[in-house]
A and B are shown apart, each in its own frame.
Chain A
Amino acid sequence: MLDGNRQRHVRRSACRWCRNDDPCADAAGDSSVRPDEIDVVELHDCFSIAEIIDSEDLGIVPRGMGAVWAADGRTSVGGDVAINPSGGSLAKGHPVGATGLGQVYEIVQQLRGQHPNQVSNARIGMTHNLGGTGVACTVSILRRCD
């Protein structure tokens, strides 16, 4: 079930793509889901640093802690929140336009409990898809139907 979905042109700085009034917060507002309730995320890691920035922008990792959480395994399967258990965009060869729908495919598999790198009892998932130099961004929150 699609629980929240927003698209926005986003503003940028060197350390973040978005501000607090960003599509991530909007999508969460649509769905009344708090970031700490999200079990699994497929986010736009077109480059390694992008995963760190995205995880902080989305509010699922505290600001400034993206790299620390990743290094400590807190964003691995079995950690606080699973980020890109599919391997992410870099593992898929950065498939540009196919990225966003590929993320939906991965999250639906997770919510069905059918993913090869399954997050235990995943109930709420998020996709985050950036375009260009951050000129477009879509965020969707998906919830298991049961």
Chain B
Amino acid sequence: MREVVISGIGSTVFGRHAGVPIEALAVRAAAAALVDAGVDRERIGALYLGNFISGPLNGKEVLAGIVAEQLGLPNISCTKVEGACASGGIAFRHA
């Protein structure tokens, strides 16, 4: 297994976010992680997003590409994964 380093983290607070679009939560957390890592956006090669039932609950799909665009990460590989409550963990594994 080659060496893998987590260079930055970000999170919103957990709770009610009335009126906030679901993709905005991911953008806030990811932007915080980029600042924490001190990595230029140009060096990001791919985005993996884990989500469960955003379609039925929020009426929104294809979140990975939407989040990448709003983050200012155009023209990178974008993938959304779903594994119920393990969606986030699976996205982390793929990244």
> Which A residues are within 8 Å of any B CB, using their own CB?
1-2, 4-5, 7, 30-31, 44, 46, 89, 92-105, 108-109, 127, 129-132, 135-138, 140, 142, 145
B47 interface residue per 8 A CB criterion: no
Q: Which A-chain residue is minimally distant from B16 (CB atoms)? A: A93
Q: Is the CB of B50 within 8 A of A100?
A: yes
Check B84–A102 contact: CB distance below 8 A.
Answer: no
| Chain B residues bordering chain A, tally (CB within 8 A) | 27
Q: Name the B residues within 8 Å of A1 (CB-CB).
A: 3-6
The interface residues of chain A lying within 8 Å CB-to-CB of B14 are 92-93, 95, 98, 102
Residues of B within 8 A of A (CB): 1, 3-6, 9-11, 14-15, 50-54, 82-93
* A105 contacts B9, C-beta separation under 8 Å: yes
Does A131 lie within 8 Å of B86, measured CB to CB?
yes
Q: Mostly helix, strand, loop or mixed at chain A's interface?
A: mixed
Contact A140 B88 (CB under 8 A): no
Chain A residues near B86 (CB, 8 Å)? 44, 99-100, 129-132, 136-138
A109 touches which one: B9, B51, B84 (CB < 8 A)? B9
**Min C-beta distance of A93 to chain B, whole Å:** 6
Q: Which of B9, B10, B82, B85 contacts A44 (CB 8 A)?
A: B85
A130 touches B85 (CB 8 A): yes
Supposing A132-B84, A132-B85 touch, asked if A4 and B90 sit within 8 A by C-beta, the answer is: no
Contact B51 A101 (CB under 8 A): no
| B89 A140 Cβ-Cβ under 8 A | yes
Q: Are B82 and A97 in contact (CB under 8 A)?
A: yes
User: How distant is the Cα of A16 from the Cα of B89 in the complex, in angstroms?
Assistant: 20
Q: Which B residues are CB-close (under 8 A) to A100?
A: 50, 85-92
The reply to whether A7 and B90 contact each other, CB–CB distance below 8 Å, is yes
A61 to B93, CA, bound (A): 25
